């Protein structure tokens, strides 16, 4: 199969994954692209303020338009000369008005015609993109999209709309389940020994049950640990929604809270050593720290006042 250009959606996914701290190899795996494609995209389509998806897509389209016409003879002769010197298509592109994609197409067309230009490429196999996405292992069934979520949740006018996530320990050993109420920032956390759907579901149920009168909705990302969403919704009599993939800003309250939680449990911390006392202390400090957006009141104060629910000591 022939090479296909990155789409606008893929560029937004690259940006989101990069902002989340993923390596280029991990981004390539998620998008089912080669690592060199991601590396080339980040190198060629970045501006002075770094990689931004809208700008990157515009730059790529402009470059594609420039190379849409037939390559003139002089440019092709230059390209062949540099290929014979083992220049890469990317290096040639930097010195000629021709894209690497067009060069690869020309080289492989030459190969099909019996030519030997392809032998000068560092990677001599025809690049292929996997198009089939029928493997549904790990997919979460019966998910309800955030698009179905009531509009009132976005306004933060009521107490009872929660965001959920998991924070992973060093070497992916154990995790912390985090739940944050959107209006007040009131935060609940619990450590789980394994990040399984059942362990996470049980932890969420334990954390939210004391406040179940103020649990209207829960919104999470698409991690497989939330595969028990239907059970959680039933046990808490709430509605469970999923944000769009790679759209962490749709759960901004939770992302911000996770950053605060990391002050107590940094990425290099072995979670197997975390005690319940440390969990309780972190939760108490997070909920009793004045917040500017709450008029310098604490999440505990606002949650208790707005919900009428007595907080657990």
**What separation, in Å, do the N-terminal and C-terminal C-alpha atoms of the chain show?**
62
Instruction: Identify whether residues 302 and 200 lie together within a single domain.
Output: yes
Q: Which two three-digit tokens encode residue 204?
A: 């969420």
Tell me whether residue 61 is in a domain: yes
Which long-range contacts (C-beta less than 8 Å, at least 24 apart) are formed by 267-272?
267/170, 268/170, 269/169, 269/170, 270/169, 270/170, 270/171, 270/173, 271/168, 271/169, 271/170, 271/173, 271/174, 271/175, 271/176, 271/191, 272/169, 272/173, 272/174
Predicted model pTM: 0.57
Structural domain includes residue 136? no
Write the pLDDT tens digit of every residue in 33-53.
888 889 989 988 888 888 998
DSSP character at residue 267 = T
Domain count, the chain: 2
| One domain for residues 174 and 233 | yes
Residue range 4-24, pLDDT digits in tens = 678 888 899 999 998 888 999
pLDDT at 45: 87
Does some domain include residue 86? yes
What angle, 0 to 180 degrees and rounded to 10, lies between the N-to-C axes of helices 8-19 and 35-44? 90
Based on the fold, state whether residues 245 and 200 are members of the same structural domain.
yes
139 within domain boundaries: no
* Per-residue pLDDT tens over the stretch 236-268: 999 999 998 878 888 889 988 998 999 899 989
Overall average pLDDT of the 187-201 stretch: 95
Q: Quick one: 163 and 229 in the same domain?
A: yes
Rounded average pLDDT over 284-300: 91
Q: Which domain holds residue 255?
A: 146-307
């Amino acid at each position: 199969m022939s090479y296909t250009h990155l789409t606008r959606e893929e560029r937004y996914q690259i940006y989101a994954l990069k902002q989340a701290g993923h390596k280029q190899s991990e981004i390539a795996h998620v998008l089912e692209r080669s690592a060199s494609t991601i590396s080339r995209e980040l190198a060629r389509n970045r501006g002075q303020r770094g990689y931004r998806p809208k700008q990157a897509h515009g730059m790529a389209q402009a470059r594609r338009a420039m190379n849409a016409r037939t390559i003139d003879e002089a440019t092709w002769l230059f390209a062949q000369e540099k290929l014979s010197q083992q220049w890469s298509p990317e290096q040639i592109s930097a010195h000629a008005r021709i894209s690497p994609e067009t060069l690869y197409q020309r080289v492989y067309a030459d190969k099909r015609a019996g030519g030997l230009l392809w032998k000068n490429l560092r990677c001599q196999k025809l690049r292929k993109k996997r198009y089939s996405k029928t493997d549904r292992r790990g997919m979460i069934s019966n998910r309800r999209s955030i698009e179905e979520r009531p509009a009132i949740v976005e306004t933060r006018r009521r107490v009872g709309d929660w965001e959920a996530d998991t924070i992973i320990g060093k070497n992916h050993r154990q995790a912390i389940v985090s739940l944050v109420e959107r209006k007040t920032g009131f935060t609940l956390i619990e450590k789980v020994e394994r990040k399984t759907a059942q362990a996470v579901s049980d932890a969420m149920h334990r954390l939210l049950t004391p406040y179940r009168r103020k649990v209207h909705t829960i919104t999470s990302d698409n991690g497989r640990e939330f595969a028990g969403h239907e059970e959680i919704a039933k046990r808490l009599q709430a509605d469970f929604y999923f944000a769009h993939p790679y759209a962490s800003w749709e759960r901004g309250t939770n992302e911000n809270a996770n950053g605060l939680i990391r002050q107590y449990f940094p990425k290099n911390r072995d979670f197997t050593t975390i005690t319940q006392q440390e969990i309780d202390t972190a939760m108490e400090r997070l909920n009793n720290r004045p917040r500017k957006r709450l008029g310098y009141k604490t999440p505990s104060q606002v949650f208790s006042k707005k919900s009428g629910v007595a907080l657990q000591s």
